[in-house]
Chains A and B, each alone.
Chain A
């Protein structure tokens, strides 16, 4: 069952100096690069598991305008948690294995290597009711969308008080309404 996303994050991180999604870690930076090994590898997710997690996150929240670096930051908190907590690591690793098993059956390849999005989406539907799905869905969503670098790509201007608000800066610049 989906829980209030914000709350989950709030309780996970300290209240002050709170999570900006940019609090990526070495694990996040490592994903997607040629050298995927990081300290997380020893105790947390493997590079292949991280790569699958990233692909899954992109499939859940697919925006063609975003490159993988945004999704890498989105899964960073999950990677961190997996490196610190064996139960989380197992939950995520088992879920990745389930996804891989689903696509191996349907397309003969691990999830992250399947090029056809429809096949990957069908695999996600098979695991939609699992705790793994909820964990990734809830754990990656806010870190994905709360990245200031991402906002402008969607036309969101972010904080405005320091710029004096919008009173004299486009508050009523709409030009297409019927008269």
Chain B
């Protein structure tokens, strides 16, 4: 049963955020007998509350707290008050994710070495490599039940997949299949098999998709060592005169300000909230923000290089039937600078229901041409380009100079200027997607530039040298030994892969390290 800890219990590990990173660390530590308090800003929902309703679910669990976006990126123009599309509930963005679970490639851990110095980019190597990560990837794939690994069969091909694969074959690609998905193709680990309902992004109504909400979190609670406190928004992290963190200040469900003491604090609020919290925890000892002697907190913000391409076939596809990110083409994922850019990209099916498609198509456009795409809705296929986005020092999360949230904390601003590498990759991807679809008879295609990103990475990056990043190879702050970062903000590069599997693998690795450090008394 769930534990209950006293606010003054300074033996607990406090984990801020209950998504892929936070929930995995919570589960691992509590299974090792370590006392854990998870503070989650959002509420706790049950699977039964999920509906096949894009608009209602967007409202029910998106992170909609005020934010701003600046810079040359498209999102700042079309969505200046919602730079990212992540979730605010127990389980975090694992409720919303599409389930694509891919390992990073070897070169993606060593971008500075492999790509060289790229002007305008702040490339660095990860202080770890694929070989070190492989055992953790292996465990993560088994834990999440990833299809195409551990003998787990892949999911069947939908119409939408078949269209993509037929085109991929026609243009000479060979690496296409239903993706490695953390969605059960057969019942496994107490979770049902996928019924191909679609609406993965609105919360899986069958629980077939791995989400921390109904795996890691209840498993952690079942140990009797973990307490989850939903609707608890952390405002700042506190420390003592020696520079060790001592606890966190948060506002609870009733609106009361509380102070939870802690032996260790793990920050796992995703790549906008995590740096925001560190920056807001500045003090006389840490004037530039907690754990920020490097000045890198908030910097190197990465989403993915993306665009969506829809094609009209004049004949039925019904793209909304089946697993959302069901199909993948991986031929362009590798490193081949002859294409005119560093890094690579994947192509993944990305259907939208009619309400989402029709309201997100061509921002600002109106009239007959735009409407004709909605008229063709049943005949459309759509593919999403997801490619490596280079880190830039100026692409960063900062505290807004004027605006504050309802708790008086400055809201985050996300600034992004597109790097020419990203734009070159995006253009290449759109052209390849056009070619794929046109090779099998698409009469027209339309390009949708990026949405608010669900993949957010890099704002508290790892580094071997404390001068270059915020945390070490275990996500431990260089400056504050009992402070950890447990989410995707640790990423040094973004890769061409959906980030969740890597977040979980890092969390497994970090959990072993934390337990070891606690046992030895190092923290």
Which of B79, B316, B367 interacts with A4 by CB under 8 Å?
Answer: B79
Which residue among B51, B59, B79, B370 has the maximum number of chain A CB atoms within 10 Å of its CB?
B59
A35, chain B: closest CB distance, angstroms = 30
A168, chain B: closest CB distance, angstroms = 9
**Is B320 a contact partner of A3 (Cβ separation < 8 A)?**
no
Which of A61, A155, A158 interacts with B366 by CB under 8 Å?
Answer: A61
Given A5-B359, A161-B206, A146:B55 Cβ within 8 A: yes
**Is A173 a contact partner of B52 (Cβ separation < 8 A)?**
no
Give the complex CA separation of A121 and B367 in angstroms.
Answer: 8
**Is A167 a contact partner of B194 (Cβ separation < 8 A)?**
yes
Give the chain A neighbours of B79 by CB distance below 8 A. Answer: 3-4, 7
The proximity string for B residues 192-209 relative to A, scoring 1 for CB distances below 8 Å and 0 otherwise, is 001111110000011000
Q: Does B118 contact A (CB under 8 A)?
A: no
Residue of A nearest to B378 (CB): A155
B52, chain A: closest CB distance, angstroms = 3
Give the complex CA separation of A130 and B77 in angstroms.
Answer: 17
Give the complex CA separation of A93 and B86 in angstroms.
Answer: 37
Instruction: Count contacts between A and B, CB distance < 8 Å.
Output: 165
B60, chain A: closest CB distance, angstroms = 7
Give the chain A neighbours of B194 by CB distance below 8 A. Answer: 165, 167
Given A4-B452, A177-B163, A61:B196 Cβ within 8 A: no
Q: Does A114 contact B (CB under 8 A)?
A: no
Q: Which of A40-48, A94-102, A137-145 contacts B (4 or more CB under 8 A)?
A: A137-145
**Is B82 a contact partner of A7 (Cβ separation < 8 A)?**
yes
Give the chain B neighbours of A172 by CB distance below 8 A. Answer: 156-159, 162
Give the chain A neighbours of B435 by CB distance below 8 A. Answer: none
Give the chain B neighbours of A167 by CB distance below 8 A. Answer: 156, 194-196
A59, chain B: closest CB distance, angstroms = 7
Give the chain A neighbours of B375 by CB distance below 8 A. Answer: 63, 65, 154
Q: Which of A13-21, A26-34, A79-87, A104-112 contacts B (4 or more CB under 8 A)?
A: A13-21
Q: Does B56 contact A (CB under 8 A)?
A: yes
**Is A171 a contact partner of B158 (Cβ separation < 8 A)?**
yes
Which residue among B60, B198, B313 has the maximum number of chain A CB atoms within 10 Å of its CB?
B198
Q: Does B355 contact A (CB under 8 A)?
A: yes
Give the chain B neighbours of A1 by CB distance below 8 A. Answer: 77, 80
The proximity string for A residues 132-176 relative to B, scoring 1 for CB distances below 8 Å and 0 otherwise, is 000001000110111000010011111111101111001111101
Give the complex CA separation of A141 and B316 in angstroms.
Answer: 25
Give the complex CA separation of A174 and B158 in angstroms.
Answer: 9
**Is A177 a contact partner of B166 (Cβ separation < 8 A)?**
yes
**Is B195 a contact partner of A170 (Cβ separation < 8 A)?**
no
Residue of B nearest to A164 (CB): B195
Q: Does B246 contact A (CB under 8 A)?
A: no
Which of B78, B355, B367 interacts with A145 by CB under 8 Å?
Answer: B355
**Is B197 a contact partner of A6 (Cβ separation < 8 A)?**
no
**Is A161 a contact partner of B195 (Cβ separation < 8 A)?**
yes
B155, chain A: closest CB distance, angstroms = 10
**Is B196 a contact partner of A137 (Cβ separation < 8 A)?**
no
Given A155-B377, A160-B199, A161-B199, A11:B321 Cβ within 8 A: no
B484, chain A: closest CB distance, angstroms = 32
Q: Does A24 contact B (CB under 8 A)?
A: no
Which residues of chain A from 28 to 77 have a CB within 8 Å of any chain B CB?
59-63, 65
Q: Does A124 contact B (CB under 8 A)?
A: yes
Which residues of chain B from 436 to 459 have a CB within 8 Å of any chain A CB?
440-441, 452
Which residues of chain B from 345 to 368 have a CB within 8 Å of any chain A CB?
353-355, 358-360, 363-364, 366-368
Given A10-B59, A59-B367, A62-B371, A3:B198 Cβ within 8 A: no
Give the complex CA separation of A173 and B196 in angstroms.
Answer: 13
Given A1-B77, A176-B315, A177-B440, A63:B371 Cβ within 8 A: yes
Q: Does B244 contact A (CB under 8 A)?
A: no
Residue of A nearest to B165 (CB): A177
**Is B317 a contact partner of A174 (Cβ separation < 8 A)?**
yes
**Is A145 a contact partner of B321 (Cβ separation < 8 A)?**
no
Give the chain B neighbours of A137 by CB distance below 8 A. Answer: 364, 366
Q: Does A91 contact B (CB under 8 A)?
A: no
**Is A18 a contact partner of B81 (Cβ separation < 8 A)?**
no
Residue of A nearest to B158 (CB): A171
Give the chain A neighbours of B158 by CB distance below 8 A. Answer: 166, 171-172
Given A20-B56, A156-B377, A171-B322, A124:B198 Cβ within 8 A: no
Give the complex CA separation of A157 and B415 in angstroms.
Answer: 39
B349, chain A: closest CB distance, angstroms = 13
The proximity string for B residues 75-114 relative to A, scoring 1 for CB distances below 8 Å and 0 otherwise, is 0011111100000000000000000000000000000000
**Is B198 a contact partner of A165 (Cβ separation < 8 A)?**
yes
Q: Does B143 contact A (CB under 8 A)?
A: no
A66, chain B: closest CB distance, angstroms = 10
Q: Does B170 contact A (CB under 8 A)?
A: yes
**Is B197 a contact partner of A155 (Cβ separation < 8 A)?**
no
**Is A142 a contact partner of B355 (Cβ separation < 8 A)?**
yes
**Is A171 a contact partner of B196 (Cβ separation < 8 A)?**
yes
**Is A7 a contact partner of B81 (Cβ separation < 8 A)?**
yes
B227, chain A: closest CB distance, angstroms = 26
Given A62-B368, A160-B199, A165-B195, A171:B156 Cβ within 8 A: yes
Give the chain B neighbours of A160 by CB distance below 8 A. Answer: 52, 197-199, 321
Give the complex CA separation of A170 and B159 in angstroms.
Answer: 8
Give the chain B neighbours of A65 by CB distance below 8 A. Answer: 375
Which of B60, B82, B364, B374 interacts with A154 by CB under 8 Å?
Answer: B374
Given A4-B452, A146-B355, A170:B55 Cβ within 8 A: no
Which residue among A142, A160, A178 has the maximum number of chain B CB atoms within 10 Å of its CB?
A160
Give the complex CA separation of A62 and B440 in angstroms.
Answer: 29
Give the chain B neighbours of A173 by CB distance below 8 A. Answer: 159
A13, chain B: closest CB distance, angstroms = 8
B439, chain A: closest CB distance, angstroms = 9
Give the complex CA separation of A145 and B371 in angstroms.
Answer: 11
- Known A7-B64, A59-B367, A142-B355; 16 more pairs at CB < 8 Å: A3-B80, A3-B81, A4-B78, A4-B452, A18-B56, A19-B59, A20-B56, A61-B371, A61-B374, A62-B367, A161-B195, A164-B197, A165-B194, A170-B318, A171-B322, A178-B440
Counting from the closest, the 4 A-B pairs by CB-CB distance are A155-B378, A165-B195, A159-B52, A165-B197
Ordered by A's residue number, 8 sampled pairs between the chains whose C-beta atoms are within 8 Å are A5-B360, A7-B82, A10-B58, A18-B59, A20-B55, A146-B355, A164-B197, A178-B166
